Amino acid sequence: MTPEFQAKLDTKLKEYRSWAHGRSVAVGRLVQYCGLQFMGAVDVAPEELEEQISGLVCEGFHVDWAEHNERTYLRVWEHPGPEPSWDLTFAEKDLLDVQAILRKSGFTDGV
């Protein structure tokens, strides 16, 4: 790992630790996107959130976090994909409703 990348990772983890300090969260939730598509979500033990952030940053993903309904959400998306909104992340939905766009455009065969 280059010194520059290590500094980037250290900064990200420091930001997370500062944000998480004093919070009591029972469950973590990792929500991943690829482009405009919701790829999936998994529960993560609170003590594993920092490890998840580190691994995802090392794999080249963007990672951010927020608290919602007593859960810490990790929002994960690929570079240079669009950043998912928190509302869609919490709902675990695609960034666009492709089916609705196809219906509106008259492409309803097989949809």
Averaged confidence pLDDT in the chain: 90
CA separation for the pair 33, 40 (Å, rounded): 7
Q: Which of 42, 41, 40, 46 is nearest to 27 (CA)?
A: 46
* Residue type present at position 30: L
pLDDT digits over 27-58, tens only? 999 999 998 899 999 999 999 999 999 999 99
φ, ψ dihedrals at 36, nearest 5°: -95, 0
103, 111 contact by CB (below 8 A): yes
The proportion of the chain whose per-residue pLDDT surpasses 90, expressed as a percent, equals 73
pLDDT band at 81 (very low <50, low <70, confident <90, very high): confident
Does 109 fall in a domain? no
Range(s) of the domain holding residue 34? 3-104
Does 111 fall in a domain? no
Does 97 fall in a domain? yes
Does 64 fall in a domain? yes
Which has more pLDDT, 33 or 102?
A: 33
Does 110 fall in a domain? no
Structurally, the chain folds into a number of domains equal to 1
CA separation for the pair 75, 47 (Å, rounded): 17
Cα 13 to chain centroid distance, Å, stands at 15
The upper half-sphere exposure of residue 51, i.e. CA atoms within 13 Å in the direction of its Cβ, equals 6
Does 88 fall in a domain? yes
